Structure 1
Amino acid sequence: MQDPALAPIAEKVYAGTRLSAEDGMVLLQTRDLHTLGELANFVRRSLHGDTAYYNVNRHMNYSNLCILSCKFCEFHRKPGQDGAYEYSLDDIRKQAQTAVDSGATEMHIVGGLHPKLPFSYYTDMLSAIRETAPQVHIKAFTAVEIVHLARISKRAVRKDFAGAVRAVFEDLIEAGLGSMPGGGAEVFDDRVHDEAFRGKIRSDEWLTVHRTAHELGLFTNATMLYGHVESLEDRIHHLCMLREEQDHAIENNFKGRFQTIIPLPFFPDGSELQHLPGPSGVDNLRMIAVARLMLDNFPHVKAFWIMQTLPMAQVMLDHGADDIDGTVVWYDITKVEGTDTHQEVTVSDLKRAIHEAGYTPVERDTLYRHVERDGAMWKVAEDAGQAVTA
């Protein structure tokens, strides 16, 4: 241990004692990355041993048209702008059939806040996927999208925000929604919000959406976009707020919870903040480790290989991460190092990367249940019934 300031924190970690915000600041500022990683790896192995998770999934971005203009975002387009697109229901059915044919267990669906699509488009989307791919789990719509759907469905968002959100969820669940991704959180700070993504929902609204989802039995994820205009204090505050919300779900015995934290590095290229350098590789490793140490009530930490790269995700398995996500195939929101929207790795790629890092690859479904597979045929390991074609 090169940094003596880590000694009392290490005692807490090994004793299973919750770290404070002040401890988090020490972790974010220490130069002793080796000890930081060692502490995070201790927690990670205590929870998951040498298991590292992956899944067979397909991402679908149904439209990049968006009424917002977040400064960090290269994804959004305005009507008539080059590169703007939206999927028809036939397009969506084709995507769902491709997921079936590839053996996917999950469709991960997010998009822009479309200025004209009616609420029925979104329920019809879910119904079309469920009809075409009944075994595929639908993980869809960030908290930002959920609030947008509450508004376009003519619910009384201003008078009863939580009630409007609940009503939207009830309709979406009936149509086929299975869980929520964690996007749209960015960083929970009003200054950062006003500077980088004015107009997007604030932290209290984002947390209310996820709390409502948890009350209704939906499992959700959480993200943090770091490396832009936020401070280190903002990062720790964000993690503490997520931890408090998970405490609330646990204390109230909600059927839904946060499953995973996914720290996401900011990529400046092509955005209004492209003058900023973005986070370094060391910063990326540090954030994964700090997330694992601070979020003691989150079962999983994901190194999303699309935004971290697969080689970096391998290293992150030694710094707190236990999941590297899945096959993905199509991802239009972030393009790393000149890649295009076709960003895909095979199951063999994922398993080899995990093996090379010294871990045991385990395929999971969206809810982290182990999957048994024979080609496109799969079943949840705990299920003694017949295998299904995903």
Structure 2
Amino acid sequence: MDRIAIYNKAIALQPLTVEEGLFLYEESPLSELSYVANEIRKRYRDDNKVTWIIDRNVNITNVCVSNCSFCNFHRKLKDEDTFTTTIDEYVEKIEEMLKRGGNQLLLQGGMHPKYGIEFYEELYSSLKSRYPEVKLHSLGPPEIHHIARKSRLSYRDTLVRLMKAGLDSLPGAGAEILSDRVRKKLSPGKATTDQWLDVMREAHKLNMVTSATMMFGHIETLQERVEHLLKLREVQASRPEGSDGFTAFIPWTVYTEGTKLAEEFDCKPITPASYVRLIAMSRILLNNVPNIQASWLTVGKATAQATLYAGANDMGSIMIEENVVSSAGANYQMDAEGIQKAIVEAGFMPQLRNQAYEYQDMPEGVVNLS
């Protein structure tokens, strides 16, 4: 294959094939991939700004039936240390978030065997009645599939009811690798590849703000990574006119400390260069997704900074309270000042955003380095 011809095709935002993507992934020097990805980044963001957000993670419950081999956080229904977050606990967490300038909750749910749609409708409406200004970025396709199946509803009806109750946007959680071979081994209780994608198709028909993710560095092949990206690109291309579809793509590296996954498979750590390469390939292959986010939480500040020259244009959230990835060994932390300093140190201007990637003014009381 002609590497330069493929580069030119990518920079022109023309979709690459699986074969072309895999060829670049395996054969191209990282410097060349980074250059091409950075040129594509400029097609979407040419103002030298790198975006970030202040929000808070809250786990709705730690009870989950998905049985993911990489997760130390989940519990079975009969375990002694199970919990479901109470409204009083939400209020305490939201008040702290508001004081720190945030206005969005990332509500991560386990697939609780007893919680149907009524539970989530009551939760969202209760939170919205108290804090109408707070955005609820919640669940993900596996949870939507679980709720729909338990409540005997279609994906569309499930999403419509949750939106009416207060759901603002849908994270791309639970994608892992969109390959049923991988999913059967890593997360056998979760939605299949097609089910995950179908939930997102319905969300896009409803013009919901959504994102897409990838968790890599375990048992997947390079071809499965490329195919994952092209499946996302296909769903994005099929979104209805007027729908933004996926606003961003966020890949992160798996952490396996103390997990069942570590016992079953020899998962080699992802090097900084490998992460930057994945970011570059994401920017090159996802020609119709406007934003690529660096996962500083799983790779650290320095590697995240490097990705800003390889296609990434967003540093994500300061992550007030994160339990799932940290329970498997991730321990990086940054506050509002720290994430802005990291962006400035890399040679860019920090810009606060919302979940729809719209620029926001800095709240009072928050250090402003922009």
**TM-score, shorter chain, exceeding 0.5:** yes
The alignment status of 1:41 with 2:10, answered yes or no, reads: no
Amino acid at match of 1:192: V
| 1:266-277 pair list within 5 angstroms | 266-274=254-262, 275-277=266-268
Q: How far apart are the structure 2 equivalents of 1:135 and 1:360?
A: 27
What whole-Å deviation, never above 9, does each CA across 1:336-388 have from its counterpart, x for those lacking one?
Answer: 89566xx75221111110000011111001111111124269xxxxxxxxxxx
Q: How far apart are the structure 1 equivalents of 2:341 and 2:223?
A: 37
The alignment status of 1:29 with 2:21, answered yes or no, reads: no
The alignment status of 1:360 with 2:349, answered yes or no, reads: yes
CA shift, 1:84, in A, is 3.1
Q: Which moved more, 1:353-362 or 1:59-68?
A: 59-68
What whole-Å deviation, never above 9, does each CA across 1:295-353 have from its counterpart, x for those lacking one?
Answer: 0000000112212222211111111111111221111110289566xx75221111110
CA shift, 1:99, in A, is 2.4
Give the match for residue 217 of structure 1: 207
Give the match for residue 117 of structure 1: 115
Amino acid at match of 1:266: V
Partner secondary structure for residue 241 of structure 2: coil
Q: How far apart are the structure 2 equivalents of 1:110 and 1:10?
A: 38
Give the match for residue 318 of structure 1: 309
Q: How far apart are the structure 2 equivalents of 1:269 and 1:211?
A: 34
Q: Given the alignment, which residue of 297, 306, 326 partners 1:335?
A: 326
Amino acid at match of 2:32: T
Q: Given the alignment, which residue of 161, 184, 195 partners 2:174?
A: 184
Give the match for residue 148 of structure 1: 146
CA shift, 1:10, in A, is 2.0
CA shift, 1:167, in A, is 1.2
Give the match for residue 369 of structure 1: 358
Partner secondary structure for residue 329 of structure 1: coil
Give the match for residue 258 of structure 1: 246
Q: How far apart are the structure 2 equivalents of 1:152 and 1:18?
A: 38
Amino acid at match of 2:141: A
Task: Give structure 1 stretches of 5+ with no counterpart.
Answer: 157-163, 378-390
Q: How far apart are the structure 2 equivalents of 1:317 and 1:82?
A: 44
What whole-Å deviation, never above 9, does each CA across 1:24-44 have from its counterpart, x for those lacking one?
Answer: 102221361111111111111
Question: 1:213 touches 1:256 (CA, 8 Å); kept in 2?
Answer: no
Question: 2:352 touches 2:359 (CA, 8 Å); kept in 1?
Answer: yes
Partner secondary structure for residue 210 of structure 2: strand
Amino acid at match of 2:255: F
Amino acid at match of 1:127: S
Question: 1:329 touches 1:344 (CA, 8 Å); kept in 2?
Answer: no
What whole-Å deviation, never above 9, does each CA across 1:252-308 have from its counterpart, x for those lacking one?
Answer: 315341111111211122222213224222221111110000000000001122122
Question: 1:239 touches 1:295 (CA, 8 Å); kept in 2?
Answer: yes
The alignment status of 1:237 with 2:231, answered yes or no, reads: no
The alignment status of 1:135 with 2:133, answered yes or no, reads: yes
Give the match for residue 85 of structure 2: 87
Identity over aligned residues, as a percent? 30
Question: 2:256 touches 2:328 (CA, 8 Å); kept in 1?
Answer: no
Partner secondary structure for residue 362 of structure 2: strand
Q: Cα distance 1:276–1:338, how it changes in 2: closer, same or farther (>3 A)?
A: closer
Amino acid at match of 1:358: G
Give the match for residue 386 of structure 1: none
Amino acid at match of 2:56: R
Q: Cα distance 1:322–1:261, how it changes in 2: closer, same or farther (>3 A)?
A: same
RMSD: 2.0
Amino acid at match of 1:272: K
Give the match for residue 66 of structure 2: 68
Q: How far apart are the structure 2 equivalents of 1:337 and 1:81?
A: 19
Q: How far apart are the structure 1 equivalents of 2:207 and 2:23?
A: 36
Give the match for residue 385 of structure 1: none
Q: Cα distance 1:57–1:215, how it changes in 2: closer, same or farther (>3 A)?
A: same
Q: Which moved more, 1:120-129 or 1:140-149?
A: 120-129
Give the match for residue 286 of structure 1: 277
Amino acid at match of 1:295: L
Question: 1:96 touches 1:132 (CA, 8 Å); kept in 2?
Answer: no
Amino acid at match of 2:287: D
What whole-Å deviation, never above 9, does each CA across 1:143-178 have from its counterpart, x for those lacking one?
Answer: 11111111332x15xxxxxxx111111111111111
Question: 1:268 touches 1:278 (CA, 8 Å); kept in 2?
Answer: no
Q: Cα distance 1:344–1:57, how it changes in 2: closer, same or farther (>3 A)?
A: farther
Amino acid at match of 1:25: L
Partner secondary structure for residue 320 of structure 2: strand
**Matched length:** 362
Question: 1:306 touches 1:336 (CA, 8 Å); kept in 2?
Answer: no
What whole-Å deviation, never above 9, does each CA across 1:5-64 have from its counterpart, x for those lacking one?
Answer: 532222223444322211210222136111111111111123212110001111111111
Question: 1:59 touches 1:108 (CA, 8 Å); kept in 2?
Answer: yes
CA shift, 1:244, in A, is 0.7
What whole-Å deviation, never above 9, does each CA across 1:58-113 have from its counterpart, x for those lacking one?
Answer: 11111111112112222211234365322122222322222222221311111211
Partner secondary structure for residue 372 of structure 1: coil
Give the match for residue 305 of structure 1: 296
Q: Cα distance 1:370–1:276, how it changes in 2: closer, same or farther (>3 A)?
A: same
Partner secondary structure for residue 302 of structure 2: helix
Give the match for residue 106 of structure 1: 104
Q: Cα distance 1:305–1:82, how it changes in 2: closer, same or farther (>3 A)?
A: farther
The alignment status of 1:346 with 2:335, answered yes or no, reads: yes
